[in-house]
Amino acid sequence: MCPVHVRAEPRDFAESVLLPGDPLRARYIAETFFEDAKLVTQERGMLGYTGTYRGKPVSVQATGMGCPSASIVTEELIQLGAKNLVRVGTCGGYSRELRLGDLIVATSAAPQDGTVSSITRGVPYAPAAHFDIVHAAHHAAESAGRRTFVGQVVSSDLFYDPTEDPATLWGDLGVLAVEMEAAVIFTIAAMHGVRAGCLLTVSDTIGAEIVRISDEELRSAVDNMMTLALDTLNALN
C-alpha cells in the first residue's frame, strides 16, 4: 500500500533522495541534472522524480515549507525505501563570516520548532546530520574549491521571526544560519537508522539589516550546490 501523501510505490524512488522545499525546484533539479528523469508522484503538488546521475539511481522529492510538512515526506520516503536523504535549500546567514552564495554543510540543526519537540516529547535532543554525508559533502566541496562552512544551523518555524536581533542571539552560540526543515529530517532519519544531511546556500545575510542575493547569483550558487549534493550521494557506499 502506498503512503498517504507521497503517492508512490517503493520501486518508484531510489535509495538516495534530494529534498528541496520547493516543488518547482524539485522539477528543475530533475530536468537539469538527472538523466532519464521520470515524474513519480505529484500528490498535493509535492513533485517527486527519479532518474540517474552519472549512472547511479537518484530521486528528488519536494518537502514543502517547515518541519511539519518535511516530517510527513521524510517518514513516507523511508517507508518507500529511502536510505540517504539530503536536504538542499537556502538559508539566512547569522555568522558575520558568511557571504551571499556561500555553501553550508550542516552538522546539526537546533530545533527551534514544535515538530521535533512533539516527536521527542520534550526530551532534550540534538538533531544531527550523519557523519558519512557530512564527510562526503565536505570532501566534494573541497575538491570543487567551493567556499564552504561546516557547522550548526537552526531550524525555525518562523520565516518572519519577530525576535529582536536573532543573528546576535544565535551567532553568539556558534550557529551559522537559519532554515526551516533540517532538524526534523535529521531526527526522523536517526529514528529509522537511515542517513541524512543538509546542504544550504546562503541567500540572505541577517544582521543590522537583511541583504538578499540577486536571482542570477542565487541560481548559479544553487546549481553548484546541487552538483555537490549529487556528488555527495554518489560517493556514499
Q: Which residues are catalytic?
A: 204
The terminus-to-terminus CA distance of the chain in angstroms comes to: 29
Query: Which amino acid, residue 72?
Result: I
What are the angstrom distances between the C-alpha of 85 and each of 22, 122, 169? 16, 25, 30
Q: Which helix (DSSP H) or strand (DSSP E) does residue 232 occupy? A: helix 215-235
Answer yes or no: are the C-beta atoms of 178 and 166 closer than 8 Å. Answer: yes
How far, in Å, are 95, 202, 217 from residue 4 at the CA level? 39, 33, 37
> CB–CB of 233/138 below 8 Å?
no
For 92, which DSSP code? E
Q: Do 20 and 60 form a contact (C-beta atoms < 8 A)? A: yes
4-32: burial string, b at 16+ Cβ within 10 Å, e else:
ebbbbeeebbbbbbbbbbbbebbbbbbee
Count Cβ atoms below 10 Å from residue 168 Cβ, excluding itself: 15
Mapped onto helix, strand or coil, the DSSP state of residue 22 is coil
